Amino acid sequence: MEKLNWGIIGLGRIADNFSKGFFYAKNANLIAVASSDTKKLEKYKETHKLDSKFLFNNYDDLIQCKDIDIIYLALPNNLHYDWAKKIIENNKNILVEKPALLSLLESQSIYNELDGKNLLFTEAFIYRYLPYLKALIEILKDQQLGNIFLME
């Protein structure tokens, strides 16, 4: 099984929680992080045993790193659009913390940027990927519970 190499831009609390998953992942490696906070970079280096060459204090340097397959964008919401565009321009897959974008105009622009590119762009809604939700969707599709007319 091929492992995807991940980079994280923005090392706040949510990125800390997200990064813990790499200790258990069989198909992914956290190899790079970017932050303007040197203390956070050093913490990630120690916690995740990262090579110093993959600690970036400049987001652009992480985005341009050839060893990274996918980037988790965990910056404040108002910065998602500009950095997502740069990530897409550098042909990287992207997982964006929610909300991914702040307007329909931004969404249309990103959609256009992705057109013709074989890239993943997804928002960090964990429930979409949980096994029990997939099972529930199959139960509903197969009408194992009857004809559902309302769900909250």
d(CA 51, CA 124): 26
Question: Which residues are paired to 4 by β-bridges?
Answer: 28
Model pLDDT, residue 1: 61
Element (H, E) at 71: strand 70-73
Least Cα distance to 68 among 39, 100, 31, 16 occurs for 31
Question: Which residues of the chain have a pLDDT value below 50?
Answer: none
Element (H, E) at 55: strand 55-56
Specify the long-range contacts of residues 103-108, CB closer than 8 Å, at least 24 apart.
Answer: 106/81
Each domain of the chain, given as residue ranges in start order, spans 4-126
Q: CA dist 77 to 50, 63, 80, 81, Å? A: 27, 18, 5, 8
Model pLDDT, residue 24: 93
Instruction: Indicate whether this model's pTM tops 0.95.
Output: no
| Superfamily (CATH H level) for 4-126 | NAD(P)-binding Rossmann-like Domain (3.40.50.720)
Q: Which residues of 92-108 are buried (b: 16+ CB within 10 A; e: fewer)?
A: bbbbbbeebbeeeebee
Q: Are strands 55-56 and 28-34 parallel, antiparallel or unpaired?
A: parallel
